A and B are shown apart, each in its own frame.
Chain A
Amino acid sequence: MRAAVALVAFFDVLIGGVFHASVLFLVAAGLQLVFGVQRIVNLACGSFYALGAYFGITAVNWTAAHGAPGWSFLPVLIASGIVLGAIGPFIERLLRTVYRRDEAFQLLLTFALVLMFQDVLRFFWGANPQQLGNLSMSYGKVTLGEFSFPTYNVLVMAASLAIAVSLGLFLKRTRYGRILRATAENREMAEALGADVKKIYAGVFTLGTILGTVGGALVVPTAAASLDMPVELVVEAFAVVVIGGLGSMRGALAGALVVGLTRALAITFYAELEVLAIYVIVIAVLVARPAGLFGKPVE
């Protein structure tokens, strides 16, 4: 009997871990895309995530106040995340000023954005955390024998998987995807072959931004949006891309699962180790396989 209860509890945590991984994957995919094509490591990925979260809450509250049905919050969240992608081209334009320079400066510029975004969020939404109440339960639960978990979580995991698959197909099968990969491999060659690199960079960055904002939006029914989000998420997102391998989409998926599940397991067994465990794994991966699970060898 005890075992069954423990199993259920374990399963709950596991689902929580996979859910977390699904959201992390979205942000990491955005990071990987931008790094893979533009060689920029975007420290502001967490800021986009937080922006998506806050804006998502505002959007849902607004639509609810204007008579939208209870079940509509999921599509509203996704839509609000996509709409926020509009800031992508502007930020990319800013980053473009330092493309040719040393990586250090690109990194620093994204750090400047992190600082600035902190106060942008504070300005529009104030210093207190915001949440959507228990909306995640609106979709009810899915029950499989002994186990049950919120349908919302399942939907998000499914959505994330769908996005992962679409991204994969997009990059491998479509013409635009091939151009993207060519530009990632060799920018000069791609330019010489007629690719409009400026447009590509703007497009890629916007897509990366949207992945981040949608990720943040999807998480708000289960967690509060707070001003700590931007800086805290960066660390997890970086753990994901390091474990998975910088620039690799499959790596983003694998890394997200590793981080999400590790966190879940750590919380279950030894709470203090929660975040520590992730960094230990990061360092272990870097020792054993510096390129991460799916990345290209370095130095």
Chain B
Amino acid sequence: MSAPRSRVALVSFVVATIAVLAVFPKFAEPYYVTLVLPAFAYAIALLGFNLLFGTAGLLSFGHALFVAIGAYAAAVLTSKLGVRSFEAIVAIAGIVSVIAAIPVAMLAVRYVRIFFGILTLAFGMLFHSFLFKFYNLTGGDTGIRVLRPTLLGQDWKELDKTAFLIGPFYYACLVLALVLGLAMWRIVHSPFGLHLAAIRENSRKAEYLGVRVRTFRLIAFLISAFYGAIGGAILAVNTGQADPELAYWTHSGELVFMTVLGGFANFFGPLVGAFAFIFLKSELMGATQYWRFFLGATLAVIVIAFPRGLMGLASDAWKKATRR
């Protein structure tokens, strides 16, 4: 439980970060601003992922399934169904994902630990092969185009693609991230969140205290699917394309990587992890053609030496600083 001083520090830090993000496009190079967009997308997707992992203790190796659903929902809505409102796209992508998640969740919550991981991996790959093979429906390995959505009813026609992305779209995503972040904060710190934590710590004991373990895991799974899809929709609008590789199991692996990089035991861990990963990957790709090796090495180092991730390091540093 946080002492009042930590609380003030935390709130100040969050407000400062939001302020920096808000003015970022004004002073930073467009290249870096375009990097922040996938960071927003992944931050949202990871908030959902970490409800399952950090809070409920379930490691899904198929979260990319929902990211892909969101991306393809955005693509189908804009390219094939003529729905261009970003607000509608986000909402529909989320709802479609939750509906798709219901059968997956009902099956998956019967298992724990490695079996849960393998089952979710299987579902992710099932969707991937569907996307890849059924060319007529899904565009096969090229995927489906995502057309530029309207924001608040406006189409911002006067702006070119980049200007749109680093302008109105950036702010739309920032607001979306804030709203969803706040909602997730409430969920994690609610009675429901407490029960998820209890399930993580000792599911048998939780049962004896009247906690309906499977039902709660299912609800957490559905919420994570909602968040994953919204992240996917943002990614798709950003790249202009929904492609099947979004559903591949290694993409799910990267989601786990990001979360652990930032720190899975901390609410802000996944958010920090998303940003850190995007920037790390971008810098590595620019520096060497063997960037995968160094990315993998980074993950190995974190898993072995810094399992609580960046937020773990930050919280240790804070504790040291405030002890004096």
Direct contact of A and B (CB under 8 A): yes
On A, residues with C-beta under 8 Å from B are 41, 43, 94, 97-98, 101, 103-105, 107-109, 111-120, 122-123, 231, 234-235, 238-239, 242, 246, 271-276, 279-280, 282-283, 286-287, 290, 298-299
Considering the chains assembled together, what is the distance between the CA atoms of A246 and B253 in angstroms?
21
B35 contacts partner chain A, Cβ-Cβ < 8 Å: no
The smallest beta-carbon distance between A266 and chain B, in angstroms, is: 11
For chain B residues 279-314, which have a beta carbon within 8 Å of chain A?
289-293, 295-297, 299-300, 303-304, 307
The smallest beta-carbon distance between B287 and chain A, in angstroms, is: 13
Known: A41-B117, A111-B257. 13 other contacts (CB 8 A): A43-B253, A103-B114, A108-B256, A108-B303, A111-B256, A112-B297, A114-B296, A122-B292, A242-B118, A274-B133, A279-B125, A279-B129, A286-B119
Contacts of B53 in A (CB 8 A): 104
Considering the chains assembled together, what is the distance between the CA atoms of A41 and B134 in angstroms?
31
B32 contacts partner chain A, Cβ-Cβ < 8 Å: no
B122 contacts partner chain A, Cβ-Cβ < 8 Å: yes
In the complex with contacts A238-B118, A290-B110, A276-B130 CB distance below 8 A: yes
Considering the chains assembled together, what is the distance between the CA atoms of A246 and B119 in angstroms?
13
The smallest beta-carbon distance between B286 and chain A, in angstroms, is: 16
For chain B residues 121-153, which have a beta carbon within 8 Å of chain A?
121-123, 125-126, 129-130, 133-134
In the complex with contacts A114-B296, A116-B296, A119-B290, A239-B122 CB distance below 8 A: yes
**Number of contact residues on B: which range applies?**
35 or more
Which of B111, B250, B260 is most buried by chain A, counting CB atoms within 10 A of its CB? B250
Contacts of B115 in A (CB 8 A): 246, 286, 290, 298-299
Contacts of A280 in B (CB 8 A): 126
The smallest beta-carbon distance between A172 and chain B, in angstroms, is: 26
Considering the chains assembled together, what is the distance between the CA atoms of A272 and B134 in angstroms?
7
Instruction: Show 15 residue pairs from A and B whose CB-CB distance is below 8 angstroms, ordered by the A residue.
Output: A41-B117, A104-B59, A114-B296, A116-B292, A118-B296, A119-B292, A119-B293, A122-B290, A122-B292, A235-B249, A242-B119, A271-B133, A276-B130, A280-B126, A286-B122
For A98, give its contact among B133, B289, B293, B304 (CB under 8 Å): B304
Considering the chains assembled together, what is the distance between the CA atoms of A103 and B130 in angstroms?
30
The 7 A-B pairs with the shortest beta carbon distances in the complex, nearest first, are A115-B296, A119-B293, A116-B296, A112-B299, A279-B126, A112-B300, A272-B133
In the complex with contacts A119-B292, A272-B134, A283-B256 CB distance below 8 A: no
- Interface residues of B: mostly helix, strand, loop or mixed? helix
Contacts of A283 in B (CB 8 A): 107, 119, 122-123, 126
For A231, give its contact among B59, B61, B249, B260 (CB under 8 Å): B249
Q: Is the CB of A103 within 8 A of B113?
A: yes
Contacts of B125 in A (CB 8 A): 235, 275, 279
Of all chain A residues, the one with the shortest Cβ separation from B256 is: A108
Contacts of B112 in A (CB 8 A): 299
Considering the chains assembled together, what is the distance between the CA atoms of A280 and B289 in angstroms?
37
In the complex with contacts A113-B300, A123-B290, A275-B129, A286-B107 CB distance below 8 A: yes
Of all chain A residues, the one with the shortest Cβ separation from B299 is: A112
B169 contacts partner chain A, Cβ-Cβ < 8 Å: no
Contacts of B307 in A (CB 8 A): 101, 105
Q: Is the CB of A299 within 8 A of B256?
A: no
Of all chain A residues, the one with the shortest Cβ separation from B133 is: A272
Q: Is the CB of B295 within 8 A of A287?
A: no
Q: 0/1 per residue, B74-104, Cβ < 8 Å to A? A: 0000000000000000000000000000000
For chain B residues 196-227, which have a beta carbon within 8 Å of chain A?
none
Considering the chains assembled together, what is the distance between the CA atoms of A123 and B118 in angstroms?
30
Contacts of A105 in B (CB 8 A): 303, 307
Q: Is the CB of B133 within 8 A of A298?
A: no
Of all chain A residues, the one with the shortest Cβ separation from B126 is: A279
For A299, give its contact among B111, B121, B123, B253 (CB under 8 Å): B111
Q: Is the CB of A238 within 8 A of B121?
A: yes
Considering the chains assembled together, what is the distance between the CA atoms of A119 and B130 in angstroms?
28
For A118, give its contact among B114, B118, B119, B293 (CB under 8 Å): B293
